[in-house]
Structure 1
Amino acid sequence: MDDIDVQGTVWPCPAPSMPVSSYQGYAGAGELLASHGYVVVSISANGINALDVEEVGGDQYIARGELVLQHLDLLRKANAGRVESLRALHGRLDMQRIGLMGHSRGGEGVVRAALLNAERGSPFGIRSLMPLASVNERSSIPGVPMASVLPYCDGDVSTLEGQAFVDDGAHAFGDSALRTTVLMMGANHNFYNSVWSEEGHGGDDVELASDFADDATCGVGRSTRLTQAEQEHLGAGYMAAWFRLTLGREGRFLPLFDGTSASLRGLPRADVRSVPVLPSEDRLDVLTAALRLGDWRAGGGVQARWCAEAAVDIDDCPRREEEAIDVRQPHWSSGLGESGTMLRVDWAGAGTLSVMLPRQSRRTGRMERLSMRVMTGLSAPGGMRLTLHDRWGRRASVQLDAQAHATLGALPEVNGIGTSLLQAVQVPLARFRGIDLRHLRRLDIDREEPGTLFLTDVAFTRSSVGMAQHASHWPGIAVESQPPMDSRGPSERQDVRVTATLSGRQSYPVTVNVRLGTDSRAVTVPPGNLCAGTSLQFAPSVDPDVDESMAFIASGNSSGGFTSNRQIPVGPAGVRNDGRTAVVCREE
């Protein structure tokens, strides 16, 4: 990159300063993979870090994605024998089996790389993604298996916003890709990278976060914390296992990611919980909150209702309403779309939630488990009884209690703050004895004591990583705005026209969620159409301390198509910045 001075920041580093070699901090994972025949390349993004390209009119995550693709372009040339300095790689690379891992802002960067690759028509076979302790700008990618790693004691991205990668993509595309959250209890943000772990280069980020440092759960030196060596070893093991599973098809690593949360010999003993949404072809859906699919009846002292991220009644969503501000809520972070929707079920006393099984989900012959993602209350998590009823009136029950199933207990508080995070509950179908699993009719969820459960993704499942598909099989979505928005936004209230244009007509609706400041809307392109539009209103903040960078049009999670979030401003004359005439679409 060129030398640019941005608010006193210079790149390259002027002497005698030396750049931080962050890219060398993943040597453990790289060596593990290389020892099994993988070519591992770690790249430096110091130029982007130093300049923060948002300050010079760009998007740092697009820049990170482009940086990844530029290195893949270089490796493709090396594989063809056209790079003399990389002659050792000639003919050694499979450019159609590529996995990407990104740490922190790099997590969003590798997802953008996959989206930009799709915009190009998928010249590279990006078949696996691992955002690690990642920020999240609500990008969703179709067709690519993804494991989003969440360190529970993250002192940097403490909101655990990487959860949204799984929520946003799980039901948006109907694809055959495993998406899973890997929650590492006791892990911080920095210790996955040996360079960041050093004093002066970051160290223990929990120690730097004043509200975490003395915490009983995540505080420095607590027995519940992983040491630097343990976390680096654990992280390297999970990185290697994920790519050997998704690129090498080594199925023995699947139990680390499919919700059974098995451990792997040779890795440090740790509480690591995987919370998956399995591929569409490997599950029979019973209740899917993100799609508002589910037929239930509430009996006794039970009430149930949908609880959506974008709902007006968002205050009804937190599980501890009177102290909602004191709960980390990764599933309800920005008010964009329906991906964080759950079924909230409140028991005032003993009662039953009965879920009727859809016709296509009554024959479970190929399936292995009854699975669901569940979040329990803080004050009285308790347990529950699951009962399946068959066509002949017979029933079989399995009792689950919080002591035997850690996922039914409340997650530990961090500095007095609870965490609302869905956990995996998986019950082998073999435990439901004496009924006909080929002719099921109903699932009952019973509790005896008062309490609250949040439910979604109730399904009969079998473990699978699925099959990666080129994201370019789905339509691309270009988001345009008129007038264009800069980083500060207008000085007075202004209406902004936003248009979503598809790369081709589809037989189904395609939706993208867009946001401007505090105003957000879903833009849906109807079947057979190329585009649709809506209007957003930007109202400048009266608070001088509020960051106006939200004046950018932000396109978030989408369904039925993908967007890289590369913005295309449209000027007053209706001409895009690439010289093409903008498409005029109807008002939503």
Structure 2
Amino acid sequence: MNKVKSFISVIVVVILFQSLLLAGCSNKDKDNNTNNNDTNQIKQESNNDKVDNETQNIIQDKEIEISEYNLGQSEIKQNSGIIMPYDMVGTIAAPKEGDNYPVVFIMHGNHMIEDYNKDRYDLGFKYLLEALAKKGFVAIAFNINAQYQLEFGEPIAHERLITIFNEHFGKLESAIKGESNDFGIQLKNKGDLSKIGMIGHSRGGGSLDAIINDQKDKGNNNVFGIIKVAPSNLILIENNNPDIPTGIILPQYDGDVSFQDGQSTFDELKGNPLRKSFASVVFLKGAGHNLFNDNVKQDDRENNRNLTDDDRKIFLTREQQKQFLIDYSVDFLNKALGKEVDTNLFDASKPTTNTAYGLQAKTSLITGNRTEILLADSEDKVNKNEFGGNNKSEDLEVKYLIESYIPNNDQLLNFDHPTKYEKYGVFRINYTNKNAKFTMEIPKDKQDISNYEALSLYLALYPGSDLNKARENQALSIVIRDSNGKEAKVILDDKTAALEFPEGKSVTNEFTTFWSLKTPLSEARIPFKEFKDINFSDISSITLQFDQKESGSILLRDISLMK
């Protein structure tokens, strides 16, 4: 979607806000919804045992039980005064043996239906329920179509969803206490409702904050982590993002949520200096919106205009996307619970790579212990960094520019960071020889950075500049100097995901020029251990040295310290 059309879409949002509350995923599926009320038990074992080398705890796939349940009909008492009936149906999976497992709730998105009670998109995540149960979680998904429908009037925000969640929560709590057994499998003492994880797809992902805030209003601080999969927000940026571990998955070729709303959420979390919890975002190459849910058959990637054969060559299969969601969810949830996981996605002491679980991706991480050295939020920051030190440019041009979804504000026509900000500042750094340097001087009272573990750059190659050779990745060096004159250098080579030349192409229409695909900023993270023989308690400067390519143009949002 180009930026003019994006702006028009925002105008429509403002005018038809209540209608948009019911919008979201909109792909027609007639042959994919089954309502099998039989209860099934699956006993599965796997040889794919995972060993945590640090704790020496062997985690084997567990034998599980899974049941599609029907808790009967209930009612949603809406603030409008209209009562809406709905069927309390869903699917639950749990390890057969053991007790007090964390509980994970999965919320599906809004897809076209003929009957909100009979069409079942919750069943599209049965594969994820099974996988989570095998890894030691009680996992439940239920039908929330009633939240998205215009029948019985328009819902006010998330009121229907909160009712549906609370009623299922109450039934599950009763089953875990042994007071009832309506779910078709034995749940007494099986789950621990003081440890809740949540996963939401599309509109289900955009609505998780509302459920969590409602739980907090009830005095429950029980949600330990959330994962938003291709989330669609009701408003430009959802308010009151909870300070809990947050994972976000963005499909590169999302043909439904074209604004990539989850990126705006991540940037909002990134801009909160008081945040204490970690957050992760993965921009998954070749992925689409619908393929995470088995009951949504249409390939939305074809909704993207200007697709090429090269684009289709990197399309992921449904099975690849499902396996990615399984792998990411298991590791994220365990990390949020404080366990050790074998991935660099959530660990500031490990460098970023251009893959995630074997698939091409751009990834970014923020931690609760993070300090910005440079932030491109005003023009004066070109010359003065966040530490109060001077910035020095040699043989290059640094210019403060605005990235915006509003065309009149946008100063980067051939760049489209997935965002809904009116003004999002970046530094464009242009260079034409290998002597180019950008140096941030560190004042004496800020020179001890030894308490941190890594240096993080949030940046992208600028595809709209002729200084970058077509389809050629960028590369640069980071040089840290201490007060004794010692220097340590690390090269961000042309395999650095954040410096890749993006898929897509420049397109010009009657309104503007734009890049055909989203081109997000992402993180290049360098652990301190990569810088050899340097005194991190006495750092005098940090330099971006453009000595790897003859010319280039990059966009830089911030540089920060992390641990």
What is the TM-score normalised by the length of structure 1?
0.64
Contact 2:76 2:160 in 1 (8 A): no
Q: Which residue of structure 2 aligns with residue 525 of structure 1? A: none
Does 1:328 find its partner at 2:328? no
1:300 and 1:253 mapped to 2: Cα distance? Answer: 41
Does 1:108 find its partner at 2:219? no
3-state DSSP of counterpart to 1:47: helix
Choose the corresponding residue for 1:413, options 485, 489, 504: 504
Q: Which residue of structure 2 aligns with residue 371 of structure 1? A: 456
1:179 and 1:167 mapped to 2: Cα distance? Answer: 10
Contact 2:117 2:145 in 1 (8 A): no
1:189 and 1:439 mapped to 2: Cα distance? Answer: 47
3-state DSSP of counterpart to 2:290: coil
Q: Give the letter aligned to residue 215 of structure 1.
A: T
For residues 467-501 of structure 1, what are the alpha-carbon distances to aligned partners after superposition, in whole Å with 9 as ceiling and x for unaligned?
Answer: xxxxxxxxxxxxxxxxxxxxxxxxxxxxxxxxxxx
Contact 2:224 2:244 in 1 (8 A): yes
Could you tell me the percent identity over the aligned residues? Answer: 20
1:245 and 1:424 mapped to 2: Cα distance? Answer: 20
3-state DSSP of counterpart to 1:41: strand
Does 1:345 find its partner at 2:429? yes
Classify 1:40/1:390 alpha carbon distance in 2 versus 1 (closer, same or farther; 3 Å): same
Contact 2:393 2:437 in 1 (8 A): yes
Does 1:35 find its partner at 2:154? no
Structure 2: tracts of 5 or more residues without a match: 1-74, 79-83, 88-111, 508-515
Tell me how far 1:358 sits from its aligned partner. 5.8
3-state DSSP of counterpart to 2:198: strand
Choose the corresponding residue for 1:400, options 492, 497, 501: 492
3-state DSSP of counterpart to 2:142: coil
Tell me how far 1:23 sits from its aligned partner. 0.4
Contact 1:104 1:135 in 2 (8 A): yes
For residues 339-379 of structure 1, what are the alpha-carbon distances to aligned partners after superposition, in whole Å with 9 as ceiling and x for unaligned?
Answer: x4434434465532221336675334343332211112114
Does 1:454 find its partner at 2:545? no
1:358 and 1:67 mapped to 2: Cα distance? Answer: 55
For residues 417-443 of structure 1, what are the alpha-carbon distances to aligned partners after superposition, in whole Å with 9 as ceiling and x for unaligned?
Answer: 143311221223233234322211111
Contact 1:105 1:134 in 2 (8 A): yes
Contact 2:225 2:244 in 1 (8 A): yes
Contact 1:24 1:195 in 2 (8 A): yes
Q: Which residue of structure 2 aligns with residue 277 of structure 1? A: 366
2:265 and 2:163 mapped to 1: Cα distance? Answer: 20
Q: Which residue of structure 2 aligns with residue 131 of structure 1? A: 228
Tell me how far 1:48 sits from its aligned partner. 2.1
3-state DSSP of counterpart to 1:85: coil
1:173 and 1:420 mapped to 2: Cα distance? Answer: 25
Tell me how far 1:126 sits from its aligned partner. 0.9
1:144 and 1:69 mapped to 2: Cα distance? Answer: 20
3-state DSSP of counterpart to 2:325: helix
Classify 1:270/1:119 alpha carbon distance in 2 versus 1 (closer, same or farther; 3 Å): same
Q: CA RMSD in A?
A: 3.5
Classify 1:358/1:246 alpha carbon distance in 2 versus 1 (closer, same or farther; 3 Å): farther
1:98 and 1:77 mapped to 2: Cα distance? Answer: 16
Q: Give the letter aligned to residue 556 of structure 2.
A: L
Classify 1:98/1:358 alpha carbon distance in 2 versus 1 (closer, same or farther; 3 Å): farther
2:213 and 2:246 mapped to 1: Cα distance? Answer: 13
Q: Which residue of structure 2 aligns with residue 20 of structure 1? A: 119
1:101 and 1:149 mapped to 2: Cα distance? Answer: 11
State the number of aligned residues. 428
Contact 1:216 1:415 in 2 (8 A): no
Q: Which residue of structure 2 aligns with residue 566 of structure 1? A: none
**Counterpart mapping for 1:131-150 below 5 A:** 131-136=228-233, 137=235, 138-139=237-238, 140-150=240-250
Q: Which residue of structure 2 aligns with residue 230 of structure 1? A: 320
Q: Which residue of structure 1 aligns with residue 301 of structure 2? A: 206
Q: Which residue of structure 2 aligns with residue 563 of structure 1? A: none
1:217 and 1:430 mapped to 2: Cα distance? Answer: 38
3-state DSSP of counterpart to 1:256: coil
Choose the corresponding residue for 2:272, options 154, 168, 172: 172
Tell me how far 1:409 sits from its aligned partner. 1.7
Q: Which residue of structure 2 aligns with residue 499 of structure 1? A: none
1:398 and 1:429 mapped to 2: Cα distance? Answer: 10
Q: Give the letter aligned to residue 204 of structure 1.
A: D
